[in-house]
Amino acid sequence: MHWRVSTYALMLAAAGLPLYIHLPRYATAELGMSLATLGAILAAIRVMDFAQDPALGWLVDRYPAQKPLLAGLSACGMGTGFVLLYTLRPETGSLLWFTAALVLVFTAYSLGTVLFYGQSAALAGGARGLARLAGWREGGTLCGIILAATAPGLLAALGAQGNGYPAFGLLLALVCLLAWVLCRPLWRLPARVERPLSLSELRASGALSLLTLAFVNALPVAITSTLFLFFVEDRLLLPELAGPFLILFFLAAGLSVPLWSRAATRHDATRVLRLGMGLAVLAFVGAGFLPPGSALGFALICAASGAALGADMVILPVLFAAALDRAGLQAGSAFGLWTFAAKLALAAAAALLLPALALSGYVPGAQNGHSALLALTLAYAGLPCLLKGAAIALATTLPREKAPA
């Protein structure tokens, strides 16, 4: 069963961070779209998510017997959306087509994520197995991130047209199809009867504090993911190393997952989480002072920030799921809010920073002046430090607690 958990997590990961890594360059270089336009599209989709994601959570809780059907719709929707986004690009009306494809991908991703995380307690056999389940889930997530983040470059190197993106869309559709076929047993496990969700119940269980922390804590990673390729290519002048840097970052995260998981089950999980956040701050500070061409220095920063990401991926979802399980609250609705918070962080980074960078004079791939590159550096390294500091402050207010083993 655990390998199926990893497989489904791998599929979902393709519509998370990698999408935001690729979209800025894909939209500007392949579609001729401005950064401001892309930011506006992503902001509009997030407005839609404000109503959609909680509604999907309600749907999952209202019709628990239909989870296999809903999982199939999620996988098929993501696969179709990827093909429409990357492979079947029309000659005219590309902006509308692009927007519709993104809506389909994000909606299907939300449905799959709500199903997956809402099923956590059933898959783990209760709250005590949540940390072990998280290890398998986040391991699959990181494999999916590495695959989706590096695939276009690898496909292009093998001779694929359009910088590898048309073949990339077909590859992701195949991954979605295989994940749906292989993971159908995940949805046959019965979940216990749960109480309806409400704001007062969320607050009383401690889940609301964790939800707020998750959103603030996701913002720095969302910012660095959105600006990663720009920073490597235009600030560090190391475009040929963008792929290896990404692989190093996510490998460090994957290797750190079992270490963070073990530490969180043996010690105060919130303290362990703060240590991971502190490591991220050190990495962000270091990135801001790197001169162009600093390959070794940025490799060390990728390793450190990747390891810090491992703590975020393991500890926060486990604490949230455990709080819901203790209170007997509907996990589907709660993780609908969790999914919305995660996507809102990613979209806020793109919707606010991309137009701001455009106003500063920054143009991807062009000869940018000092002020434009300074704006890029402050956005990539300075702002995440401030936001991570706010997340650390929020984490200090959480009660001491070990993650369920």
Radius of gyration of the chain from Cα atoms? 20
Longest dimension (CA), the chain: 60
Whole-number Cα distances in Å, 129 to 97, 126, 256 = 43, 6, 19
pLDDT digits (tens, 9 = 90+) for 40-96: 887 788 777 767 877 887 888 788 888 899 999 999 999 999 999 999 887 766 888
Percent of the chain with pLDDT over 90: 31
Nearest CA to 346 out of 220, 222, 215 is that of 222
**Whether residue 108 has pLDDT greater than 90:** yes
Nearest CA to 102 out of 193, 31, 19 is that of 19
**Whether residue 270 has pLDDT greater than 90:** no
Helix ranges restricted to H, 83-206 = 94-118, 120-124, 130-157, 165-182, 199-205
Q: Checking phi first, is residue 289 left (phi over 0); if not, alpha (psi -120 to 50) or beta?
A: alpha
pTM: 0.70
Q: Domain 2-395 is of which CATH architecture?
A: Up-down Bundle (1.20)
Q: From CA 237, how far away is CA 154, in angstroms rounded?
A: 20
Instruction: Mark 85-105 as b/e (b = at least 16 C-beta within 10 Å).
Output: bbbebeeeeeeebbeebbbbb
Q: According to the model, what pLDDT value does residue 398 have?
A: 83
Q: What is the DSSP letter of 47?
A: H
Across residues 374-387, what is the average pLDDT? 93
In Å, how far from its chain's centre is CA 320? Answer: 17
Instruction: Mark 5-36 as b/e (b = at least 16 C-beta within 10 Å).
Output: bbbbbbbbbbbbbbbbbbbbbbbbebeebebe
Taking the alpha carbons at both ends of the chain, their separation in whole angstroms is 18
Q: From CA 403, how far away is CA 98, in angstroms rounded?
A: 41
Contact 142, 18 (CB under 8 A): no
**Whether residue 38 has pLDDT greater than 80:** yes
Contact 298, 232 (CB under 8 A): yes
Query: What mean pLDDT is reported for the chain?
Result: 84
Domain ranges of the chain: 2-395
Beta strands in 254-321 (DSSP E): none
Residue 280's Cβ-side half-sphere holds a number of Cα atoms within 13 Å equal to 31
Q: From CA 174, how far away is CA 215, in angstroms rounded?
A: 31
